A and B are shown apart, each in its own frame.
Chain A
């Protein structure tokens, strides 16, 4: 269920590293827990963050969740389509529902992250 080429955070985000940058999104588990997403607030292209910084919010009918970046770096691109149609996040969180592309300034940030297998186990424990 969770793509094996992605890395995962404890905050239920995934990152797909492509060279010097990474595409960030939220996991199937996260979208399911949130329920229908109604609003997505993303940072602006060019903004710089440290890893673990809050970079945006996702609002659903149930809750408002903060979005954290697992890596330090500059925002290179955001998924504009989500702003108009946040439902994409519910329908396809692992591909079309990507949130943003961020520069991966420090590869060491990635070492803290979980593999798909580790994340699956983490989610199983969390849902008990």
Chain B
């Protein structure tokens, strides 16, 4: 027994030591494994007007992005990078181009973000994209629509939004389609626009597309947006009796024009707005029933017939207490496109990321609420950015924007009312 005991003691000792060694090694292994598994974050810089007069617009963009990022991170982050989470670094441009430039600089050099996105205003996007181009950092532009942004030969700039001139192009296309569909010949067009770069830009585009469509511009009437009275403009327009009246206005002047047109019972075949003031919720408050049957153009409407649209809007409304708008949808969808590019790039290397953006082709998922296919051309411009035309209609006693064009995206059960029947008809 004694003999055996000695032997066994040695064996037990050996086993114990081995077990300890094993557990040590395993323990260490486990430790190092969780070390390499430590979730990394990918920093994305986002320039927005978070203070100043455009602050509410910046805020809704921020909320839309936060919601998208939460969803992407909750679904496992960027899987090709070990489930890395997206971290948003917001920078306030105050709506000021100079501040936008210095913030872009700070995001790249100090925060060392993988890419920049933003920034609501075209005026801020123009100079801040130059900074990113200079540093060779990708810049994804979801909202600004100034044509020039993707027409400067930049390599690192990609844009989701439509070009401003596309809206004017599609307005003219809509007029042609409707006049054929309803058999109402349209010949003359009056352009009434506020007299800043926005209105003038729209007029330049109209001057190209309207004569191309065989229509004649009979009136080009600029006006200062803070006019005390727009009756003279309305009277002049009434005298010329154009078939179509196209408008570019901010909120207060859009309302004044609409009310004054109603007062003087101006009755063209159609009134067509260009977003801006016509898309503002206050427009309904200021005009009441006078805006009934007006048309307006945008990229998204709450009732648009696209996958994911209703669900996402519902979730957003429950989370933040108000509905999305077209800009919020672009901001939301942009985060999914960025996540897709990161996934395919597999790293935050600017070159790989740039290549991934250029090769983007998304045909499923939440981006469907904006467009059925997300593809960028060689200038970085989203091809076929979708545009919809809505008509102001009374639904259950309340004015609503009802999507009517293109037909496949229209609200079911609604027909376009064409020509304009007059106020209160």
A in complex with B: no
B residues touching A (Cβ–Cβ < 8 Å)? none
Binding site for B on A (CB under 8 A): none
